Structure 1
């Protein structure tokens, strides 16, 4: 209803009495360029940083762990999907590909490193997920506890990934 009334009054204004419309129109006070200049002048005068993420927010353990948790979740999801698709599409079975890797005669250090690289994201995502479950229960929100549980997650991740890689 309001849209119809607005449309009707705009038509009347433009068709019947354009001089009335122009008389009530006011020029803009400032242009967009002037507004931007005012904005940057004010920020310069107040010594505000150009980007708050660079100067105000430094890299912290909780920030890095949050980013890593999301990254490991994406990587694990993509890895499981690719592994499943390759099992469907590629010829042969898992044992034949395992024999292929064994025939490459890779050194034990390289094999351990590869196993650790596969185990690390899984273990980090698992331990950090348990940490998030504790947060869902309302525990561990104080800043010292956030850092303490972060270091515990990192320690458990390294130990368990190293243990799995040693198997």
Structure 2
């Protein structure tokens, strides 16, 4: 909160080309706590009867918006999965081959096995292909609205094909 106020005061002083002495009146008074400043902020805003900021539910969801959220979610899920896999390798007895033999001995059937492999491969493939898409954006390519949707569809198609290919291995 204080950083935002300082930034505002600095910009106001630079824009008005005033001396710093004249801009001090906008600064936060010394000796106030963050809690007091937040109470003052909310009392001022609630007393003015201004509308609150709109919540995300009023926005119409678009493909780039949903894919951005999913990219973050798959990144978190993949990080958590790698951490859990590493911890389980340290804690559980046996080695990877013995765990693989245990899964094979369950006799789950090819349909369930391929579905599980697809479910594991899908986030990895999605995060990888969408990461390539983000790298292209960093290069300044594909930033127009139609291109955003086209690249989104391409990422989804490549994701499904890649996940199917990995699940078939």
Is the pair's TM-score, using the shorter chain for normalization, greater than 0.5? yes
Q: State the Cα RMSD in Å.
A: 2.0
Shift of 1:85: 1.2
Matched, 1:157 2:159: yes
When normalised by structure 1's length, the TM-score is: 0.71
Larger Rg computed on CA atoms: 1
Shift of 1:141: 0.6
Flag the 1:50–1:80 CA change in 2: closer, same or farther, 3 A: closer
Q: TM-score, normalised by structure 2?
A: 0.70
Q: For the residues of structure 2 that align with 1:92 and 1:53, how far apart are their CA atoms?
A: 48
Structure 1 residue 73 corresponds to structure 2 residue 83: no
Q: Number of matched residues?
A: 128
Gaps of 5+ in 1: 1-31, 44-48
- Aligned residue for 2:49, secondary structure, equals helix
Match of 2:126 in 1: 124
Distance 2:152 2:75 in 1: 17
Tell me the distance in 2 between the aligned counterparts of 1:69 and 1:106.
31
- In structure 2, the gaps of 5 or more residues are 1-42
Q: What is the CA–CA distance in structure 2 between the aligned matches of 1:52 and 1:101, rounded to whole Å? A: 45
Please name the residue that 1:54 is paired with: 57
